[in-house]
Structure 1
Amino acid sequence: MPSTLYLNGPIYSSASPAADAMLVTDGLVEWVGDSRSAPRPAGASIVDLDGRFVGPGFVDSHTHVIGLGRTRVEVDLRHVRSAGELLDALAARAAGLPETELVRACGWDETLWADPALPTLAQLERAAGGRAVYAARVDSHSALVTRAAYAYAQMQVPLDAEPDEPWLIDGQARTDMAAVVNALSSREAAEAARLGLDEFARTGHVAVVENAAPHLGGVSDVVTLKQASLDAASPEVFVLWGELVDTAEAALARVAEMEGGLDGGDVDPWVLGLAGDLNVDGSIGSRTAALRQPYDDDPASGTGIAYLSPEQVRDHFVATTNARLQGGFHVIGDRGMDIALDGAQAAVEIVGARAFAARGHRLEHAEMTDDDALARMRDLALTSSSQPGFDAAWGREGELYGVRLGHRRLGMNRFATMARLGVPLAFGSDAPVLLPDPWWQVAAAMNHSNPAESLTARGAFTAHTRGAWRALNRHRSGGPRHGEGQLIPGAPASFAVWEIEELAIQIPDPTISAWSTDPRARVPMLPALDTEVPPRAVRTVVNGDVAFDSGDLA
């Protein structure tokens, strides 16, 4: 590749905190420092940053790229604020579809409505003209469905279902139906993959970890996504496949099936392991997260759903450890965390602490964690792959977590305590549950609903960049590359250029000065996140290739 020299803008680099220039050659950062002393190789392209900020590109540690792409073609219900608006949106889509076609929708959140009452089956079927409807809640752990959806999925309609009540499906029945309705044609999967990857590139991401699973789409979807990332400059794609195994042979066979599906080429191993959306429990919004005590707003609903036992968790961790793959689980509730940690501890007693830790096993979300749980996570070397935006969206008093859990909301998403104890942190969006807006995730971690669990901007930024790279199990490809998630000489040239208003040193404690513009402080500064206009990506570069360019750079 020809060299490119970026000049006249702050470069976030530990190698040169006051740098305002960077040279990129052959996909690597060759040099970083002061513009006045920048090398200028013959034939190098010169990019005038004109004050724009350059930082390591973001890594989304937990996302659903194809799911995000599908929101562009499905009925997106994230904007609706009543049952009536939901029905109108479904009716508008159904009007243009054949009577035999499924109406797929996603994103509704009744906790944002003035009246949280859900539409009844009769209302849903009238709006859809009798068509099959599968309308997933924002957390995807429950869905509104019609009778025709049961027929579409070849499932039996529940005997106790009443037309004048909402037909909300959750638990194993939801998982079974989702496996059918989420199946995409090859054309649909390719379109969704491209749309999703383009959105991640546009928002400054240089890598994504696709949390795939049988109920979210087939193996072919995963292969299609990886292929799309290779066919055009895109964020790097790594995959966690959420399927339970109990032998190393079964784990390796599944990985081989996925990686063997690509159209040739010399591609490093890209399936990290069997982890991600392998559900120990469900979600708080759908009241399916497994709790120790009942939900505050509906005690009669019980304590949620535990999909797996400690023994199943144990066997899965043993299998993935012996296969030298990453293992892990989706876990949100405190009872779900007990199950995951009990299983992990039992696995360590079989495979040994060193072998277990070497695989970089992880827990997705890890939201409800008391002190004992966090100490166990640290001792078991488990990574927390978390979403700060969950707290920003639902964590404050009177919002979803407060309504469902009462005072227990204060013990959720304990980022500061995790960092203090040494639990590895990796941040992501869980898109399309939340939009892939990485600076919003950083701001959410800084402005936690429980101030004691707030992170500095630098700590949150690191968890969304370098920390997310560290959370990848790269054993089969020779381990991590030098400098991943940093802009230092020899590191991969994977970064984003941002239009910003100003730089700042930002910390959550208002009693301490949070501003410094003096380069002699030798502290790399980050874009201020309390300004009127948030940072906007104008270019995203992945291993030296431009994956997104807004056209603003000269």
Structure 2
Amino acid sequence: MKKIIALAVSGLTLILTSQNAVAQCQLYQNIKGYTPTSHTLKLTQFDWLAFDQGKVLATGIKGTTNPYQHCQPIDGHQQFMLPGLIDAHGHIAGLGFEMLSVNLRGIASEALAVDAVKNFATKNPASQWIKGGGWNQVLWQNKHFPHRDSLDKSGIKKPILLERVDGHAVWVNSQALALAGINKETPDPQGGKIERDENGEATGVLIDNAMEFVRSKIPPISAAEQEIALDKAFAHLLSLGIVNVHDAGVDEKVINSYIERNKTDRLPIRIYAMLDGSSQKLTQWLDRGIISDHKDFLSIRSVKLYADGALGSRGAALLAPYSDDIQNTGLLRTPTSDLDTLVHHILSKGFQVNVHAIGDKANRLVLDAFEKAYKTVNAKSLRNRIEHAQVVSLKDISRFKSLNIIASMQPVHATSDKNMAEDRLGKERLKGAYAWYKFLQQGTIIASGSDFPVELANVFHGLHAAITRQDHTNQPKGGWLADEKMTPAQALRSFTLDAAYAAHQEKTLGSLETGKWADFVLINQDVIHGKMEDIWKTQVFETWVSGEKRYTKN
């Protein structure tokens, strides 16, 4: 008998069926399906999908021989089917906690952000801290960083911490600064910056490693709060057709939760968890060796490191100064010597290394670190990755290929950044920015993600950005830096089979080929041959994992 647990989370129906359940042979027909395959770069189209015991038996075209007519039929009502979507760079716990905090995404001014914080504080009187995020000063008329004074004047008598949309800066009030002991004499930490006014006083914005001054004062999250956040995130991801997340830089508490959930078949999606490279227990985790699961629900064989910050907060490390801040070249969150040592150490333990690098200087230093390590460690086959690979010197792009580095990129970053990237970089550096076509043409694998909750956790937004390089108002006409567009086939592959490859999982995941897990999604429109400008509007009807329906649209 199947063991079924139904959870109602935020109005969604999340169905957890025991991973040990044996599914009856089923035949999904009357569909229009697309899947990448391991033997060609072209997509394969199909009209039916047969699966049994959680795995794909076959796909086929209507009118050809179908030996699976005896299977239990399911009518797809002429809807469209894709392999289950993989987000190759996200933050599951971060998404869940964002759903439980004040949301400032898209807020049009500092004053409106403060109003939202006040409203949240009123509705959550028991909160010891007011936490939230999503603000982006680039959307505000003056484009300036916010100030602690506006939070202080809100009347909220609690410490406040609000993350910038990219997660690389926080905006705090004076009470939070006081708790952290930050004053005029506090020096900037290595790899971080305290924004200051003309008198040297902290303005309330802390960038990159300086954020830890305040974060370290926040009371620990309870186990119950963590589990609620994870459940909310899982339900949301399944509602978007996402069946697998490469969780970038997971702390020990969350890792342990994943391990315990997996033991009792309570992981509703697949997780490729990257260990946090800054953890004091990193060596202990590495010594435990690779953690894998024959059902492919949990894999721990990689480590996330940070080279620099983000472009929006001018923390991305550049080879030359910012075009709009000529005294600033960004921040290196990890000193070069430490980065070299960490990369070598992790590779020597047989773990994949995935390094956050956004600026061209950071990307060069990370490539250098891999090149040095490869001289003494045979680690090219580990499929090491640079996370974001956002701004790369034209001289360094070919090094991704020669060093066998996967470019783990987020298409939505290009369309989100297009209104400020040229201000930060100037036209010349844009030639190596968000350079998807250049990478693909030389044979470099791109694993696409969203970087949620920095961006919305919606792969269809990513597909739209990759194919059109336009925002949701279809601007700019023809696409921003349009020569770097992906084809629909390339874009889908980057969110499915190539993302699976980046996790050493392409033999069992990422496509609807015989013998692979039956992970698939049913959607309302054709994202390959339909209207490209409408891809971001795609609705998910059903999400299946291992041949079990995990989400149905209400």
TM-score band w.r.t. shorter chain: 0.7 to 0.9
Distance 2:283 2:454 in 1: 30
Question: How much does 1:136 deviate?
Answer: 0.6
Name the CA distance, whole Å, in 1 between partners of 2:30 and 2:132.
46
Asked if 1 retains the 8 angstrom alpha-carbon contact of 2:286 and 2:346, the reply is: no
- State the match for 1:457 in structure 2: 488
Aligned to 1:82: 109
Q: Is the 8 A contact 1:134 1:181 kept in 2?
A: no
Instruction: Kindly indicate whether residue 460 of structure 2 is the aligned counterpart of residue 439 of structure 1.
Output: yes
Q: Which residue of 1 aligns with 2:417?
A: 394
Q: Answer yes or no: is 1:537 the counterpart of 2:540.
A: yes
Shift of residue 340 of structure 1? Answer: 0.9
Q: Kindly provide the amino acid, as one letter, of the partner of residue 412 in structure 1.
A: A
Match of residue 423 from structure 2:
403
Counterpart of 1:482 (choices 494, 504, 507) is: 507
Equivalent pair of 1:498/1:538 in contact (CA under 8 Å): yes
AA at the equivalent of 1:310? T
Identify which of 310, 316, 332 aligns with 2:342.
316
- After superposition, the Cα gap between the structure-2 partners of 1:31 and 1:182, relative to the gap in structure 1 and judged at 3 Å, is farther
- Partner of residue 273, structure 1: 302
TM-score by length of 2: 0.84
Which moved further from structure 2: 104-113 or 320-329? Answer: 320-329
2 CA distance for matches of 1:323 and 1:258? Answer: 8
Instruction: Summarize the alignment of residues 15-30 of structure 1 with structure 2, pairs less than 5 Å apart.
Output: 17-30=44-57
Give me the CA root mean square deviation: 2.9
SS of 1:254's equivalent in the other structure is helix
Task: Indicate how the Cα distance of structure 1 residues 342 and 157 shifts in structure 2: closer, same or farther if over 3 A, else same.
Answer: same
Amino acid at match of 1:243: G
Residue 38 of structure 1 is matched in structure 2 by: 66
Structure 1 residue 244, shift from structure 2 partner: 4.7
How far apart, CA to CA, are the structure 1 residues paired with 2:539 and 2:296?
32
Distance 1:6 1:99 in 2: 49
Name the structure 1 match of 2:18.
none
* Structure 2 Cα separation of the partners of residues 328 and 531 of structure 1: 33
Q: Which has the higher helix share?
A: 1
CA distance in 2, matches of 1:289, 1:493: 40
Structure 1 segment 287-302 matched on structure 2, within 5 A? 287-300=314-327, 302=328
- Counterpart residue identity of residue 337, structure 2: E
SS of equivalent residue, structure 1 residue 167: strand
Q: Residue type matched to 1:234 in 2?
A: P
Residue matched to 2:27: 5
- Tell me the secondary structure at the aligned position of residue 80 of structure 1: coil
Quote the offset at 1:157 in angstroms.
3.5
SS at match of 2:161: strand
Shift of 1:7: 0.7
Conserved? CA contact 1:245–1:315, under 8 Å: no
1:206 equivalenced with 2:233 (yes/no): no
Amino acid aligned to 2:256: V
Q: Is the 8 A contact 1:281 1:336 kept in 2?
A: yes
1:119 and 1:481 mapped to 2: Cα distance?
A: 45
- Counterpart position of 1:234: 268
Question: Structure 2 CA distance, aligned partners of 1:326 and 1:119?
Answer: 38
Is 2:445 the counterpart of 1:424?
yes
Richer in strand (by share): 2
Identical residues among aligned pairs (%): 22
Gaps of 5+ in 1: 474-479, 506-526
Q: Is the 8 A contact 1:427 1:464 kept in 2?
A: yes
Matches within 5 A, 1:149-548: 149-152=176-179, 154-159=180-185, 166-181=203-218, 183-213=220-250, 218-225=251-258, 227-228=260-261, 231-232=265-266, 234-244=268-278, 251=282, 253-255=284-286, 270-275=299-304, 278-300=305-327, 302-351=328-377, 355-395=378-418, 399-407=419-427, 408-448=429-469, 449-473=480-504, 480=505, 482-500=507-525, 502=526, 504-505=528-529, 527-531=530-534, 534-548=537-551
Would you say the 8 A contact 2:240–2:458 is kept in 1? yes
Supply the distance in 1 between the matched residues of 2:542 and 2:33 (Cα, whole angstroms).
Answer: 14
Cα distance in 1 between the residues matched to 2:127 and 2:86: 40
User: Does the CA-based 8 Å contact 1:310-1:342 persist in structure 2?
Assistant: no
Once structures 1 and 2 are overlaid, which stretch shifts more, 534-543 or 169-178? 169-178
Change over 3 Å in CA distance of 1:349–1:244 after alignment to 2: farther
In structure 2, distance between residues paired with 1:347 and 1:221: 30
Shift of 1:483: 5.0
Q: TM-score, normalized by length of structure 1?
A: 0.84
- Note the alpha carbon deviations across 1:192-235, whole angstroms, 9 max, x for none: 1111111111111110011125xxxx411232245456644622
Q: 1:284 to 1:481 in 2, by over 3 A?
A: closer
Q: Which of residues 172, 177, 188 in structure 2 aligns to 1:145?
A: 172
